[in-house]
Amino acid sequence: MTATVPPTDAGRAARRDDRRPAWEEEPGPVVQGLKGITLTGVCLAILGPLWVVLVTSLSDYRTITDAGGLVIVPKSVTFAAYREILGGGAVTRAVVVSLGITVVGTALSMAVSVLAAYGLSRPGTFAHRPILITLLVTMFFGAGLIPTYLLVGNLGLINSYWALILPSAVSVFNIFVLRAFFMGVAPELVDSAKIDGAGEWRILLVIVLPLSRAVVAVISLFYAVGYWSAWFNASLYINDTDKWPLQLIMRAFVIQHQPPPGMSQAIDSMQIPALSVQMAVMMLALIPVVCVYPFVQKHFTKGMLIGAVKG
C-alpha cells in the first residue's frame, strides 16, 4: 500500500492560490507601478490648481503682470488681498452670513433627518409605508423652480435668511441612508432598553445615535458643505446685497467681475491686483471645507457604504 503523505502548508497555499479568482491575486510590479503613477497624476491634478490659486492670492501686482495672469512660481509674498477682503467689508460680512447659515441649517437638517429616519426605521410606526413611498417619489419628481419661488414668496421668506435654509433643509437621500443604518442596529439592544422602561426618545439619544456616529458625521458633512457652497437660492431669494453669502459674493466677483462694495477703489487704483483678490476669495471659500474634511474622512467608508448597503 502506498502511504498517503499529508499536504504541507505550502501545498495547501498553492492549491488555494490556484482556486483564487484573477482579480484577487496580488498585483505585480508593473501594476503597482501603474497604480503609483495614476495616484500621483490624480494628486497633481487636484493639488496643482489649489497651489496656483494660493500662490496667485499671495502675489503682488508686478508678479502677476510678469506671469501674464495666474502665478505658478511665487516671487514675492504679500497678504494685501486677504487684509482687503477681511477688513470688515462685504466679504467679512458674507463670511459671517455663510457661517451662520451653515451652522443653523446643518443643525436643523440633521434634527429633521434623524427623527424622520428613526421613525421610518421602526417597524409598525404610523403611516410607515405611505410616508416612505411619498418620500421616494419626491426623489424623482419635483414641483419646479416657479412653484417653489411662489411658495417661498407666499410664506414671506423673500430677502430672509430662512429662504436659504428651509427650501433645501431635508434631503430624502440622506434620510434613506440614515434609515438604513438605524435598521442595522441590533434589535436586541432596543428590546432590552424597552424592557428596562426606556422610551423612544431615550433609545434614540442613548443607544441608536452613539452607535451611528459614523453615518451622522458623514451626513452632517454633506449638509454643511451643501449650505456653505450654495449660491443659487441666494441669487433667487436675496435682494439685499448686505445679506449675500460668501458664495454669491465670489460668483459676482470671479465670474461677473463685480468687486464687492468698498473694494473697487483699491482695485481700480492698482494698489491690489483684482486677480489676487479673486483668488483670495476662492481660498477663503475653500478653507473651511479643507479643515473639516480630514476629521470626517475616516467615517466615510463605515458610515456611507454600510448605510447605503444595509436595508
pLDDT tens sequence across 192-218: 888 888 888 888 888 888 888 888 888
Q: What is the pTM of this model?
A: 0.79
Which amino acid makes up residue 220? S
pLDDT tens-digit series, residues 226-253: 999 888 999 999 988 888 898 888 888 7
Question: In b/e form, how buried is each residue of 81-114, taking b as 16+ CB within 10 angstroms?
Answer: bbebbeeeebbebbbebbeebbeebbebbbeebb
Helix (H) or strand (E) holding 251: none
Most confident by average pLDDT, 71-75, 85-89, 257-261: 71-75
Most confident by average pLDDT, 4-8, 142-146, 226-230: 226-230
* Confidence label for 264 from pLDDT (cuts 50, 70 and 90): low
The pLDDT of residue 138 is: 86
Helix (H) or strand (E) holding 142: none
- Spacing of C-alpha 172 from chain mean position: 16
Rounded to whole angstroms, the Cα distance separating 306 from 127 reads 26
Rounded to whole angstroms, the Cα distance separating 51 from 197 reads 57
Rounded to whole angstroms, the Cα distance separating 12 from 259 reads 72
- Spacing of C-alpha 165 from chain mean position: 16
Give the single-character DSSP code of 286. H
Give the single-character DSSP code of 22. G
pLDDT higher than 90, residue 101: yes
Question: To 10 degrees, the CA torsion angle through 143, 145, 150, 153?
Answer: 120
Pull the grid cell for residue 4. Answer: 498517503
pLDDT higher than 90, residue 97: yes
Pull the grid cell for residue 164. Answer: 436659504
Other C-beta atoms closer than 10 Å to the C-beta of 285 total: 20
Rounded to whole angstroms, the Cα distance separating 89 from 44 reads 35
